[in-house]
Amino acid sequence: MPLSDAHNTTANALETQGIGKRFGGFWAVKDVTFSVKPGERRAILGPNGAGKTSLFNILTGDYKASAGSIRLFGEDVTKQSIPKRINRGLRRTYQHAYLFDGLSVRDTLFLAVAGIRGGWRQVLPVRLSDPRRAEAERLAEVAGITQFLDRMVSDLSHGQRRQLEIGIALAEDPKVLLLDEPAAGLSPAERPQLSKLLLSLPKEVTVILIEHDMDIAFQTSESVTVLFNGELMAEGTPDEVMADKDVHQIYVGGAHGH
Amino acid sequence: MKYLLILIPMALLPLVLNDFWLSQVLTRALIMGTIALSLSFLATYLGVVSFAQVTLAGVAGYAIAYFGPNTVGVGVPLPLIVTIPLALILAMAAGAMMGYIARRSRGIYAIMITLAIGVAFFYFTRQNYVLFNGFTGFSGVIAPALGEGNWGDPKPLYFLSLIVAAICVGLVQGFVRSPLGLAVQAVRDAPGRLLALGIPTTLPIVAAFAFSGLIAGSGGILNVWFQERVSSFSVGFGPIIDILIISVIGGLRHPTGAFVGAIVYVVLDIFAIDLIDRDRFNLLIGIVLLLIIVAAPNGLTQLITDGAKKLRGGAAKSRTT
């Protein structure tokens, strides 16, 4: 039974109905319907050009959907702005770490925690005793980058930048976390550390993960969705998906995306 | 602490310098430096080079002239306690408006938009007689009374300019450590990423421009008291370029760079006549600018800082050997 049907309840954390994105005459994502339960770990697989990152961009609002609808905890967010979706608990990381190079790790995490809410006090320097600083430090600890708190983001290694991305995404009570290839560019030595970090994420947070590294994807996810040429090809548990003939054909048989 | 090492000697300078040096060199440099600081702030922390900081200074200057005493008979005199905050608020509002207009622009496009605003304001002041008294502007704009003289006298204005400059540097350093200041820097580095944190980019951009209006407006008020006049020439293309040159000479990366640049610029402006024909000042300042850009792309302040580091490193090395 497809997972979309299994999870088609009012309690879905995220639910899409026939969403698509068209660039000119080309559908980067076409008629994708799926749903993810609260607290579920879902991996999105597919070859390059399958539309995985485009799907994330539609979910976050970076791309306006050309068709279909998106529901976040039952609420239609299809036409909502990015900040509104973020305020409803949707968070993401980027395939290519996209960070504030001119800020320190501490300031970056502080900004993720504090935002710019609170009226005129937002123009006053941050006090050392500000509880939001402590929260930023806690996030650094969760992401395993405590020792780099006072380092400039531009001075971080690729792996540390990935960890910081996850730390940022965990700020301010995330409900649905979209991780776009968190292991991309990591050395083999850094990958187990990332797996450990992903497995340690709070259980109540729904995680949707795009990942090419099958070990990490299957180790950290209980369900898998496969995209191919922008369309949903298969869904199921890791074992079910790996047993799927079409999926096998893509990964072993030499079929290619765009 | 390090700023006290600069401020205390500067506070003692009136004991050794005559009125010419105090007024024509240092006070002028402090005022121009304050206006240039507003540009350095925007360039360093928001990543936007604005050509309209002189406009913001001009808004405050015109407000002081229009709502204060002048000899042209135009305006609505108000008490000083109202005029000064009003001038600063108008400069901040003008800055906020400019930020809103330029909120989606970066690089050359932001330069073009701010330049267009600056040039439009220049022509508007020349043509409007109701608010700006047209081509001639306002003269006889006297600073507030102080004992038998007024705040525009050389020593009081020097101290006032020094205090305002120090406050502005402090404000910049405080603002960039605030949540809004961090958001401004985040806009500079990755606006899309800031949006992905749920923080709209318009507010930090508008706030940064408004804050730069506060700094530029402070300089504009001092400038109108220093010159005792304000006219379209105060907000023309010449002053716009002067402020840009000052910021680049001093270095955009540090708040004090604006003042270092201003000192160099003013000294060259005054003493160029001893080196070269007065009419060739632009050639001289152009050559100096070129040399500084080649020798120290980050400005004189960076050159001085790097030099001091090297000296300290050399001294430490010689102690250990």
Tens digits of residue pLDDT in A109-123: 999 998 877 677 788
Q: Which of A103, A107, A116 sits opposite B203 (nearest CB)?
A: A116
**For chain B, what percent of residues have pLDDT higher than 90?**
63
Structure tokens at B156: 């009081």
The answer to whether A111 contacts B196, with C-beta atoms less than 8 Å apart, is no
Distance from CA of B203 to the nearest CA of A (A): 9
The answer to whether A87 contacts B174, with C-beta atoms less than 8 Å apart, is no
For the ranges A56-60, B115-119, B291-295, the lowest mean pLDDT is seen at B291-295
Chain A residues with CB-CB distance to B201 below 8 A: none
Chain A residues with CB-CB distance to B198 below 8 A: 82-83, 86-87, 115, 172
Reported as a pLDDT band with limits 50, 70 and 90, residue A95 is: confident
Q: Which of A91, A100, A171 sits opposite B189 (nearest CB)?
A: A100
The answer to whether B193 contacts A94, with C-beta atoms less than 8 Å apart, is yes
pLDDT of res. B255 = 80
pLDDT of res. B321 = 58
Domain ranges for chain B: 2-311
The answer to whether A101 contacts B189, with C-beta atoms less than 8 Å apart, is yes
Reported as a pLDDT band with limits 50, 70 and 90, residue A4 is: very low
Chain B residues with CB-CB distance to A107 below 8 A: 182, 185
If you measure CA to CA, which chain A residue comes closest to B197?
A: A112
pLDDT of res. A10 = 54
Q: What CA–CA distance (Å, rounded) separates A102 from A110?
A: 14
Residue B310: is its pLDDT beyond 90? Answer: no
Residue A5: is its pLDDT beyond 60? Answer: no
Residue B114: is its pLDDT beyond 90? Answer: yes
Chain A residues with CB-CB distance to B197 below 8 A: 86, 111-112, 115, 168, 171
Average pLDDT score over residue span A196-215: 88
pLDDT of res. B78 = 92
The answer to whether B197 contacts A112, with C-beta atoms less than 8 Å apart, is yes
Select the residue from B45, B172, B193, B197 to test the A interface by mutation, using most A Cβ atoms within 10 A: B197
Q: Which of B179, B183, B192 sits opposite A98 (nearest CB)?
A: B192
Question: Mean pLDDT over all residues of chain A?
Answer: 86
Residue A184: is its pLDDT beyond 50? Answer: yes
For chain B, the C-alpha Rg in angstroms (whole number) is 20
- Of A83 and B167, the one with more pLDDT: B167
Residue A9: is its pLDDT beyond 70? Answer: no
Residue A8: is its pLDDT beyond 80? Answer: no
A42 contacts A207 by C-beta, under 8 angstroms: yes
- Nearest Cα neighbor of A164 from A85, A221, A250, A99 is A99
pLDDT of res. A117 = 73
Chain B residues with CB-CB distance to A86 below 8 A: 196-198
Q: Which of A86, A102, A123 sits opposite B180 (nearest CB)?
A: A123
B199 contacts A87 by C-beta, under 8 angstroms: no
pLDDT of res. B315 = 67
Residue B294: is its pLDDT beyond 70? Answer: yes
Average pLDDT score over residue span B309-317: 73
B241-267 residue pLDDT tens: 999 999 998 888 788 889 999 999 999
pLDDT of res. A118 = 67
pLDDT of res. A242 = 84
The pTM of this model reads 0.87
Q: What is the number of residues in chain B?
A: 321
For the ranges A48-57, B96-105, B219-228, B285-294, the lowest mean pLDDT is seen at B285-294
pLDDT of res. A214 = 82
Residue B299: is its pLDDT beyond 90? Answer: no
Chain A residues with CB-CB distance to B186 below 8 A: 100, 103, 108, 111
Q: How many CB atoms lie within 10 A of CB A154?
A: 13
pLDDT of res. B60 = 97
The answer to whether B180 contacts A122, with C-beta atoms less than 8 Å apart, is yes
Q: What CA–CA distance (Å, rounded) separates B2 from B8?
A: 10
Domain ranges for chain A: 9-89+175-258, 101-173
- For chain A, list residues whose CB is within 8 angstroms of any CB belonging to chain B: 60, 62, 82-83, 86-87, 91-92, 94, 98-103, 107-108, 110-112, 114-116, 118, 122-126, 168, 171-172
Distance from CA of B263 to the nearest CA of A (A): 29
Task: Name the CATH architecture for the domain at A9-89+175-258.
Answer: 3-Layer(aba) Sandwich (3.40)
pLDDT of res. A194 = 83
Residue A140: is its pLDDT beyond 90? Answer: yes
pLDDT of res. A30 = 92
- For chain B, list residues whose CB is within 8 angstroms of any CB belonging to chain A: 174-175, 177-183, 185-186, 188-190, 192-200, 203-204, 207, 211
Reported as a pLDDT band with limits 50, 70 and 90, residue A1 is: very low
Residue B295: is its pLDDT beyond 80? Answer: yes
Select the residue from A87, A116, A154, A166 to test the B interface by mutation, using most B Cβ atoms within 10 A: A116
Neighbour-count burial for B127-142, b at 16+ CB within 10 Å, e otherwise: eeeeebbeeebbeebe
Strands A176-180 and A206-210: parallel
Structure tokens at B69: 């005493």
The answer to whether B193 contacts A100, with C-beta atoms less than 8 Å apart, is yes
Residue B269: is its pLDDT beyond 50? Answer: yes
- Nearest Cα neighbor of B211 from B246, B169, B175 is B175
Give the full edge-to-edge strand order of the sheet including A231-236: A90-92, A176-180, A206-210, A41-45, A223-228, A231-236
B8-58 residue pLDDT tens: 998 999 999 898 999 999 999 999 999 999 999 999 999 999 999 999 999
For chain A, the C-alpha Rg in angstroms (whole number) is 19
Residue B196: is its pLDDT beyond 90? Answer: no
